[in-house]
Amino acid sequence: MIGVTLESVSKRFAGAGDTAAVDDVDISIDAGEFFTLLGPSGCGKTTTLRMIAGFYFPTSGRIRFGGEDVTRKPPNKRDTGMVFQNYALFPHLSVAQNVGYGLKIRKVRGADARSRIAEALDQVHLAGYGDRRIDQLSGGQQQRVALARALVIRPRTLLLDEPLSNLDAKLREETRTEIRRIQRDAGLTSIYVTHDQAEAMAMSDRIAVMESGRVRQIGTPQEIYHRPATTFVARFIGRSNVLSLPVLAADAISVEVRLADDTSRTVAAPREHGLTESATALISIRPEHIGLCGPDEPEALAGRITDLEFTGMATNLTVDVSGQELMVATVEVPDGLAVGDRIGLRLPAARMWVVHP
Ligand code: ATP
């Protein structure tokens, strides 16, 4: 097992002007880790993965597999297994021929090849499917053939680019559990690209959230959810309210902000928050962390309900507090609550967090 390191990696495409597709990215992926590059369309995830695979060379920076510098090595010298969104299978070949393709190129033949193909099909729970034609398989099975084809070469790293995009919602969830099982069993360092935050949260040991070619935050799903670094991360991962509040006092690890006329909160802040008295702080709080109470109770923010949506698991409220709309999600809604009603909101300091712009 080996780790993968990106040091100050940038990529500029010829003719694409001054903007870098990937801009000064530092990532250190541990051996055996399931690591996800997450971000909206065009943020540079695929370009980053392609540099790790060797399909693109960085304009500057270094990429290492373990101690080995692979920055300028061609893809076939890196021992990476790749799985793509569109599977990229050969429709006219059988399952076994598709899986064995990488072995043929590596001149592994005969009984050795047959046993490795069988082993890879077994890993993805497709034992006995070797003679089937690709077009006789479902989408989910085709994606597992693509995974077997990546595993059969016994790669040092597994790279997956939106492998579940072509599957329907239910199959996506089943297949993501399956991919995670296979990855854990094999102990393979895996790098996964997706724009789907729920998928990233469910599958990953750690996530790098990317925006405009840059990494905005790296952390476990819990860290990124509870301690988003920036407004962008707070809003991209789940839903978040971001309030602009005046700073009353600040120290190295916390900031006291005015919530309403007689109400303040002391909120945990990241290092180097740079906030001082009378500045404006951006404070993130998740909809499910806001409590409901009577509008005139002490310490409550009073507001009016402008929207109410029942989703089954929770009820989502939109509440107008002095011109600012807050999202609230709650599993218990007082009987008879309706759009237009006045209501009080409780914002616990422990659930609030200072974010960078
Ligand atoms: P998506 O989820 O839509 O695939 P992404 O996050 O994977 O997006 P990339 O495909 O890495 O994003 O693209 C990052 C930026 O680089 C985009 O602005 C894209 O237009 C640009 N780009 C990607 N490939 C090339 C190329 N071969 N030539 C020029 N520009 C490119």
Residue 19: what pLDDT?
87
Q: From CA 125, how far away is CA 105, in angstroms rounded? A: 24
The alpha carbons of the chain give a radius of gyration, in whole angstroms, of: 25
Q: From CA 307, how far away is CA 133, in angstroms rounded? A: 52
Distance from the alpha carbon of residue 80 to the mean position of ligand 1, in angstroms: 21
Nearest CA to ligand 1 atom 11: 44
**End residue of a domain, out of 230, 256, 276:** 230
- Kindly state whether residues 268 and 170 are assigned to the same domain: no
**End residue of a domain, out of 230, 260, 284:** 230
Residue 312: what pLDDT?
87
Which CATH number goes with the domain that contains 317?
2.40.50.100
Q: Does the beta carbon of 197 lie inside 6 Å of ligand 1?
A: no
Tokens of 49: 């993965």
Pairing of strands 34-38, 206-211: parallel
Each residue's pLDDT expressed in tens, for the chain with a length of 357 residues: 899 999 999 999 988 777 899 999 999 999 999 999 999 999 999 999 999 999 999 999 999 999 999 999 999 899 999 998 877 889 889 999 999 998 988 888 999 999 999 999 998 889 999 999 998 898 889 989 999 999 999 999 999 999 998 888 888 888 899 899 989 988 999 999 999 999 999 999 999 999 999 999 999 999 999 999 999 999 999 899 999 999 999 999 999 999 988 899 999 998 888 999 999 999 999 999 999 999 999 889 999 999 999 988 899 999 999 999 999 999 988 888 999 999 999 999 999 999 999
Handedness of CA 84, 106, 154, 22 (dihedral sign): negative
Q: Which among 126, 156, 122 has a CA at the least distance from the CA of 143? A: 126
Q: Does the beta carbon of 38 lie inside 6 Å of ligand 1?
A: no
- Kindly state whether residues 160 and 263 are assigned to the same domain: no
Tell me, rounded to whole angstroms, the distance of Cα 1 from its chain centroid. Answer: 23
Question: What is the pTM for the complete model shown?
Answer: 0.91
Tokens of 300: 């409550």
Tokens of 192: 């996964």
Q: Which among 262, 231, 259 has a CA at the least distance from the CA of 247? A: 259
- Kindly state whether residues 66 and 150 are assigned to the same domain: yes
Choosing from 6, 10, 12, 13 the residue with most ligand 1 atoms within 8 A of its CB, the one to mutate for a pocket test is 13
Residue 106: what pLDDT?
86
**End residue of a domain, out of 199, 230, 261:** 230
Domain of 113, in residue numbers: 4-230
Choosing from 9, 19, 22, 47 the residue with most ligand 1 atoms within 8 A of its CB, the one to mutate for a pocket test is 47
- Kindly state whether residues 192 and 271 are assigned to the same domain: no
Distance from the alpha carbon of residue 187 to the mean position of ligand 1, in angstroms: 30
Q: Does the beta carbon of 50 lie inside 6 Å of ligand 1?
A: no
- Kindly state whether residues 49 and 150 are assigned to the same domain: yes
The 10 Å CB-count burial string (b at 16+, else e) for 334-350 is: eeeeeeeeebbbebebe
Tally of domains in the chain: 2
- Kindly state whether residues 213 and 94 are assigned to the same domain: yes
- Kindly state whether residues 203 and 349 are assigned to the same domain: no
Could you give the ipTM of this predicted complex?
A: 0.96
Cβ atoms within 10 Å, residue 87? 20
Nearest CA to ligand 1 atom 22: 21
Q: Does the beta carbon of 42 lie inside 6 Å of ligand 1?
A: yes
- Kindly state whether residues 163 and 260 are assigned to the same domain: no
Q: Does the beta carbon of 209 lie inside 6 Å of ligand 1?
A: no
In total, the chain counts a number of residues equal to 357
Which CATH number goes with the domain that contains 59?
3.40.50.300
Nearest CA to ligand 1 atom 31: 13
Residue reference for tokens 């799903």: 221
- Kindly state whether residues 117 and 250 are assigned to the same domain: no
- Kindly state whether residues 70 and 163 are assigned to the same domain: yes
Instruction: Provide the angle, in degrees to the nearest 10, between the axes of the packed helices 139-151 and 110-123.
Output: 130
- Kindly state whether residues 224 and 265 are assigned to the same domain: no
- Kindly state whether residues 203 and 263 are assigned to the same domain: no
What torsion, rounded to 10 degrees, do the Cα atoms 18, 22, 26, 32 define?
A: -170
